[in-house]
Amino acid sequence: MSVSPRPPRSVPRPVAPPHLLLVEDDTSLREALVRMLERRFEVTALADGASAAERLRAERFDVVLSDIHLHGMNGIDLLRLVRSADLDVPVILMTGLPDVDSAIEAMDLGALTYIKKPFDVGVLDSALARAAKLAALARAKREAIDAGLGGSHASNEHAALTTSFDRALASMKIAFQPIVDGRSRTTIGYEALMRSSEPTMPTPGAVLDAAERLSRIHDVGRCVRERTAAAFESGDDGALVFVNLHAADLLDDDLFDADAPLTKLANRVVLEITERAAISDISDARHRTAELRRRGYKIAIDDLGAGYAGLTSFATFEPEIVKLDMSLVRGIESSSVKRIIVGRIAGLCRDLQMRVVAEGIETTDELACMLDLGCEYLQGFLLGRPEEGRRASAYRW
């Protein structure tokens, strides 16, 4: 009887150990870590942030383990650099001086974990074990994509998104929409709204969405503030400018910088914080808003009525101004429920000495109702559309 030969068992390719970049400026700790890491990784060990940044631009790593306080470039900036090229690589940060701000920023940028020095070897070891597994998973996914089994290279998508996003920032202009005092019928200020000519990001929402995915919200905020200040500085009509903030902008030092272009105009600026986003994860929001007030800024709650129920944003920010979401304004003349709600909100805000802006007024009926209900300031297409360059409302009633 002839036995057909068994097909040769496929020999699994030897898997190279994952490649780890270690950045630590303390020589003895670095050497001890290398000894420990070499059991599981192929290690590249460097002492400062600048040379790590250079290496990261040239080479792909599976895991990054870095100190936060480094010469040249700190660990958070290094993490930002890693994320601009690769959304997935696990990054472990170590620090001897933990602080809430850097911990929050590290988590925002997708750090795998944040380890406090001196650490127990077991803590680092289990973080590394997890990082190694994630690195192996990412590698297996890349191999599946290379083998044509579906999916696409996230890094390619990431690179394409980065290119579009950079074009959106480079082309960003600011449109100004008038905000009108209902009694004097004069334009008291303008809301600054970003506009980009990048075709894949036609709305502010699309730009913000890309910024969130790329962990580059601060780049948007800085660009908006700089261009708003440049466009506003020239006018000396005493008008206010209302500038939208993303909740994460509250964590950006540039917002508080006395030399930043918008800070110089702060006593004419109202910062809008939207009710749509959760602000509970911004530690210290009260303290931060107090800092902003010290610089001269006023605070508005934006989109009231569209966000979470409850009064957290009132208690946290104690705003001078409240902007009613246009969902409360739309068709108000034929909704008694909306009229009751808006009437109550306007009355309560008056008692609390907060000014009310009604947003999104499109018809004369909506305008008449909002005036009747005691909304002091008005904004909407009826009174003036957002336009590049300031144009006061020409609407008369």
Q: Using CB under 6 A, list all residues that contact ligand C2E.
A: 177, 193-194, 203-205, 208, 224, 244-246, 272, 274, 302-303, 326, 359-362, 380-381, 386
- DSSP conformation class of 12: P
Residue with tokens 């939208």: 244
CB of 229 to ligand C2E, least distance (A): 12
**In the range 262-281, which residues lie near Mg ion by CB under 5 A?**
272
CB of 304 to Mg ion, least distance (A): 8
Q: In this structure, are residues 25 and 47 in contact, taking their beta carbons and an 8 Å threshold? A: yes
- DSSP conformation class of 39: T
Q: Give the nearer residue to Mg ion in terms of CB position, either 67 or 359.
A: 359
**In the range 287-326, which residues lie near Mg ion by CB under 5 A?**
302-303
* Residue 67 lies near Mg ion (rule: CB under 5 A): no
CB of 183 to Mg ion, least distance (A): 22
Q: Give the nearer residue to ligand C2E in terms of CB position, either 89 or 270.
A: 270
Q: Which segment (34-42, 68-76, 169-177, 351-359) binds Mg ion by CB under 5 A?
A: 351-359
Q: In this structure, are residues 222 and 165 in contact, taking their beta carbons and an 8 Å threshold? A: no
CB of 220 to ligand C2E, least distance (A): 6
Out of ligand C2E, Mg ion, none, what residue 362 binds, judged by CB under 5 to 8 A for its kind, is ligand C2E
Out of ligand C2E, Mg ion, none, what residue 33 binds, judged by CB under 5 to 8 A for its kind, is none
β-bridge partners, 302: 274
- Tokens in use for 259? 């030399």
Q: Give the nearer residue to ligand C2E in terms of CB position, either 67 or 359.
A: 359
Q: How far apart are CA 298 and CA 241, in angstroms?
A: 10
Q: How far apart are CA 15 and CA 206, in angstroms?
A: 40
**Closest of 344, 282, 286 to residue 314, by C-alpha:** 286
CB of 382 to ligand C2E, least distance (A): 7
Q: What residues have CB less than 8 Å from 384, skipping those under 6 apart?
A: 177, 178, 180, 187, 391, 392, 393, 394, 395
Q: Give the nearer residue to ligand C2E in terms of CB position, either 116 or 173.
A: 173
Among 102, 244, 316, 379, binds Mg ion (CB under 5 A): 244
Q: Give the nearer residue to ligand C2E in terms of CB position, either 125 or 333.
A: 333
Out of ligand C2E, Mg ion, none, what residue 178 binds, judged by CB under 5 to 8 A for its kind, is none
**Closest of 202, 171, 175, 179 to residue 386, by C-alpha:** 175
Q: How far apart are CA 58 and CA 61, in angstroms?
A: 10
Q: Give the nearer residue to Mg ion in terms of CB position, either 67 or 376.
A: 376
Q: Amino acid identity, residue 9?
A: R
CB of 258 to ligand C2E, least distance (A): 22
Q: What residues have CB less than 8 Å from 78, skipping those under 6 apart?
A: 23, 49, 52, 53, 56, 64, 66, 70
Binding residues (CB under 5 A) for Mg ion: these are: 244, 272, 302-303, 359
